[in-house]
Structure 1
Amino acid sequence: MQRLRDCVMTTAFVFQRPAPESSVNKRPRQMPRRHPGPRGRAAAHKNSKRTFCGTALEFVALFLGQSSIHGLNHLVAEKRTLLERFVWSSIVVLAIFGSVWVSFDIWRHYDGSPSAISMERNFMDWTTDMPSGTLCPSDRVDEEKLEAYVDSYWAQNNWSIVPYDTNKKLQGHPVTGPMKLNLIAIEGKDVMFYYHSPYDVLDASNTKVSIPEDKIRTVQVKALSTHTTAEAQALSIKQRKCRFPDENDLRTSPVYTFNFCRMECRRRIAWRKCKCIPHFYRKTGRIKVCDVHGMQCLGKYSELLTKLVDPITGRKYPCNCLPECDQVSFYLEEEDVKPNILKIGASVECGIQNYPRMRLKRDVIFGFGDLWVSIGGTGGLFLGCSVLSIIEIFYFFTIRLFIYILEIRRGTRPVLQQKPGAF
């Protein structure tokens, strides 16, 4: 406090008053030059500090008195008591704290959840994708293909697609009517049929239906689409909480899908629990492929690997897999089994019974422009300032400060007289 009082009082003698005219022609008395002792040097150093401190306080007082931010002018106004200055200082500090706190809260809202999923019903403006189907016969192993795969592909770490036998009796009619898919003449007993999104691969959690031999299985599903707008696509992955196929962070897949992410998560679990990965997962680097003992180890964690839920605690395993931004989910609505009169094998008929009249839309509800408007409104509410007030701060402490220093060095800065009650 004593140092602040010294700096304040320095303003009174930083700029010396001019000498009276009568003393101009008088010859000053010659005094013997003496070398300053330690006390003199300390006093000179103290005076230089006071000069700098007083000049700095004068510039700050100039800014406070001319600033457009409300409340600052009362700190340097004339004829203000110490109590008044203390009250206004407390009010200004509380206003700045409230403005910063509310602004950070607005930023957390923008950074955490600027998007939302709403319902869209103008079904005439979009198209609906048909479900994809995957067939898994109970007799899954073809000895000849298995031997060829092991010799030509697995041994050489070749993960290209095995050539498919086009002579196999599997016929498909992609569209028989507006919303139906037929697969007929399927060889095998108790064939399992999985339906899933056309933009993703099969996962163990997908719904499956059994197709008996020489029967026709009818499956009717309903579709629910999720669409992401261009404005939401411009957000970061953290903000929109979803990924597009090209936003891939997986090591074993060239594109990102939700099920690919879950597969990689199971691969990590297998490595952490048993120090090996199953043979049906892609091998990368020097990771060991499970032998017989490794497969026995994996069998102990079958529930965790299948459902990705800890059987002891009942909590989901933290795979951190985000959904796809544009996706289609299918839900079983009706299924039936009919006799196959032609006796040509199992058949499946999968389609959408009712055209969807609703879809979900992921859109931005709090954008970057809303962020600036909200923060600007907070500054106006607490401090009564605007964008020009922020520019004014930069102006004062750059251009105006530079001019102020030049005026002092050139001596063109007018002498300020300290008035009673002034800062």
Structure 2
Amino acid sequence: MDILKQVRRTIVESFHEISVHGFIFLVKRGNNILERLIWLVCIIVGFYGIIELGSDTWHRYQTSPTVITMDRSKFAWNTSFPSRTMNKMTVCSDKKIDDDKLEDYLKANPLKFPTDDSKENARNFIKNLSLISYETMSDFPLGIEGNIKPDEYLKLMSDLKWEFHPEISSGTSNKLILQRIITERGICDAVNTKTAYYNSYDYWKDNRWDLVEPNITVVVHPLELKPSQRNCRLDNESEELLTSAIYSFNLCRSQCRFKMALKECKCIPWFYRSLDKNGRRYPICRPEGMRCIGKMKDEIITLKSSKKKIECDCMANCDNSNFFTQSIRSRVWFLGANLQWGIIDYPKLQLKRELIFGLSDVLGMKNIIINANICKYPLMF
């Protein structure tokens, strides 16, 4: 009984001293039971309102703290020439294999290719392998693989690659950099992009996962907003990508195809990185596996299906530039292929993602809620 009295005394004293309005009237002497019940209901309703308002505020902070606005101050912008951003300009030559290198490879491996028939099969296999894509996998020839193992495919494509040496100029003193990369259309060359090195054979071969250069274009502090809050990802936020050290929307979509091929056909095409960040190695598809993937080429290319659900929730890049084709002109050029591209009109509109509801706003709302009076005046009877 002494303990109960002591607890009751403590509660009464606490309610008398508490700054939140209403609690004192629950224990104030002279108030009848009806007054106490009315104040209790008032307090419960007040706390319910606080919880609802707090939940809405927190939900807003988690889901929509940013807003996209239009910026028209075009004279202050530094417009990047295609393709300094994630949207790289990539050139894929129709000729992938150097015939002289191929012949030297066949001659240097007489034990693998002892007869003329085995050499001819290897030629056809290697040339078909170099031209592989999701569109052509369903027609990949069988029975000509010979002694070439799947783990050798990528190295072989890199070693026998036809050297593409285009003349590249920007019309200014700026240098346009050409980087050989591995794509879903084989080995190609990317022009003027800072992210291509992460998809190069040398980077993969050395089992590297480090960032080559720091990102200096970030304007949103990663500690203030999570990716799910701003609905975009920074270059260095590649935690969800198993086979890439850097994030981009296209790399994320490639991983979705990677996972889909692995799930449905138990292997991946040779143009994907077979060793992930966790040290797990994935099997490379033989011709039978390529045909398996080719049967679902429409689904795996579009990542859409009417028969099953394909999960691929890829966020856009926070710092991204989109270039649209305004005009295309072609003519016969007797000296070989000639490609020119450039900016006809400078951009006049820029979309910016701005923070309108940050953590400081949430804390400010919390203070307002705590200091709010439940009822301003006591009830009088």
* TM-score (norm: length of structure 2): 0.67
Query: Quick check: 1:248–1:254 contact (8 Å CA) kept in 2?
Result: yes
Write the deviation string for residues 233-255 of structure 1: whole angstroms up to 9, x where unpaired. 74112222222222212221222
Once the two structures are superposed, the pairs formed by residues 141-290 of structure 1 within 5 Å of their partners are: 141-145=97-101, 155=152, 170-173=166-169, 175-176=170-171, 198=193, 229-231=219-221, 234-249=224-239, 250-284=241-275, 285-290=280-285
Residue 359 of structure 1 deviates from its aligned partner by: 1.4
Give the counterpart of 2:92 among 132, 136, 158. 136
The one-letter amino acid of 2:273's match is R
Give the counterpart of 1:365 among 335, 345, 356. 356
Alignment partners' CA distance in 2, 1:303 and 1:311: 11
2:328 is matched with 335
Query: Quick check: 1:232–1:364 contact (8 Å CA) kept in 2?
Result: no
Alignment RMSD (CA, Å)? 3.7
2:292 is matched with 297
Write the deviation string for residues 297-325 of structure 1: whole angstroms up to 9, x where unpaired. 11111011111111546x7x322222211
Alignment partners' CA distance in 1, 2:374 and 2:191: 56
2:86 is matched with none
Is 147-156 or 274-283 further displaced after alignment? 147-156
CA gap 1:326/1:300 in 2 versus in 1, 3 angstroms: same
The one-letter amino acid of 1:357's match is K
- Over the matched positions of the two proteins, sequence identity in percent amounts to 28
Alignment partners' CA distance in 2, 1:333 and 1:254: 34
Query: Quick check: 2:154–2:270 contact (8 Å CA) kept in 1?
Result: no
Query: Quick check: 1:134–1:195 contact (8 Å CA) kept in 2?
Result: yes
User: What is the SS of the residue equivalent to 2:262?
Assistant: helix
- Structure 2 stretches of 5 or more lacking a match? 84-88, 107-125, 127-147, 179-187, 197-216, 377-381
CA gap 1:94/1:112 in 2 versus in 1, 3 angstroms: same
Residue 194 of structure 1 deviates from its aligned partner by: 10
Q: How many residues align?
A: 296
The structure with more strand, counted as a fraction of residues: 1
1:322 is matched with 315
Once the two structures are superposed, the pairs formed by residues 7-18 of structure 1 within 5 Å of their partners are: none
CA gap 1:382/1:336 in 2 versus in 1, 3 angstroms: farther
User: What is the SS of the residue equivalent to 1:171?
Assistant: coil
Alignment partners' CA distance in 2, 1:232 and 1:364: 12
- Structure 1 stretches of 5 or more lacking a match? 1-49, 184-192, 202-226, 386-423
Residue 371 of structure 1 deviates from its aligned partner by: 0.5
Once the two structures are superposed, the pairs formed by residues 109-124 of structure 1 within 5 Å of their partners are: 109-124=60-75
**Which protein has the larger Cα radius of gyration, Structure 1 or Structure 2?**
1
Residue 374 of structure 1 deviates from its aligned partner by: 1.5
CA gap 1:169/1:113 in 2 versus in 1, 3 angstroms: closer
2:212 is matched with none
Write the deviation string for residues 261-290 of structure 1: whole angstroms up to 9, x where unpaired. 111211110011111111222222442221
Alignment partners' CA distance in 1, 2:149 and 2:292: 28
CA gap 1:335/1:135 in 2 versus in 1, 3 angstroms: same
Query: Quick check: 2:218–2:319 contact (8 Å CA) kept in 1?
Result: yes
* TM-score (norm: length of structure 1): 0.61
Residue 382 of structure 1 deviates from its aligned partner by: 5.1
